[in-house]
Amino acid sequence: MACTLLFVAFNQDYYVAGHIGDGLIASIHGVSGQEYSKLLSEPDGEANETYFVTMAKAQTRLRLKSGKMDSIKGFFITTDGIQDRIYQKKFGISSNNLNTLIQAYFGKTNTEYKEFVDKLIANRWTDLNDDLSLAVVTKEHQLIQDSIQPYLLEVLSNIKSKQQITKL
């Protein structure tokens, strides 16, 4: 099995992003209704060719980026199916398409956003035939995660052996 790797981890102050292969990672900035994006990590490889985590010396293809969260509201991560609509190596990122996806995210529930993306693909991006994975992570969701942290720390502090982790 072959796969690419895209990830972002962040807290209120800093972020780290990592990437092997195609797809892209963008940071989200701006105020409500005027969000915009900045490309953090572009695809590695030519069209229909990429690097996978299962390849020899894959670690040499790992691109890491880190920085302060300052004006960042969140991150947009996508595989090559959607990437093809918002990025071209020759021209870079298509702000209109990516910003449409980002601005539609805020103020919607996850179900509403999924319906929006499904309609966009069905009505405007009908020729997409690759994987269409998309993740939007924002500081809003980080606040929810922070609220469960005390519970999570309590659970983790009670783990005494590897066997307990397997049972979880």
HEC secondary structure over 93-115: ECHHHHHHHHHHHCCCCHHHHHH
**For 28-49, what is the mean pLDDT?**
77
Return the residue matching tokens 């910003």: 99
Q: What residues contact residue 155 under an 8 Å CB cut-off, 6+ apart?
A: none
The confidence score (pLDDT) of residue 118 equals 81
Kindly tell me if the per-residue pLDDT of 144 is higher than 70.
no
Query: How many other C-beta atoms lie within 10 A of the C-beta of residue 54?
Result: 10
∠ CA 32-126-119, nearest 5°, is 40
Determine contact, residues 84/130, Cβ cutoff 8 Å: yes
- pLDDT over 70 percentage in the chain: 65
| pLDDT exceeds 50 at position 168 | no
Helix (H, G, I), strand (E, B) or coil at 168: coil
- CA atoms of 74 and 103, how far apart (whole Å): 12
Report field, pTM of the whole predicted structure over 0.85: no
Torsion of CA 53, 135, 76, 87, to 10 degrees: 70
Mean pLDDT of 109-133: 75
Q: Residue 47's pLDDT is what? A: 60
* Burial class (CB within 10 angstroms; exposed 0-12, middle 13-18, buried 19+) of 59: exposed
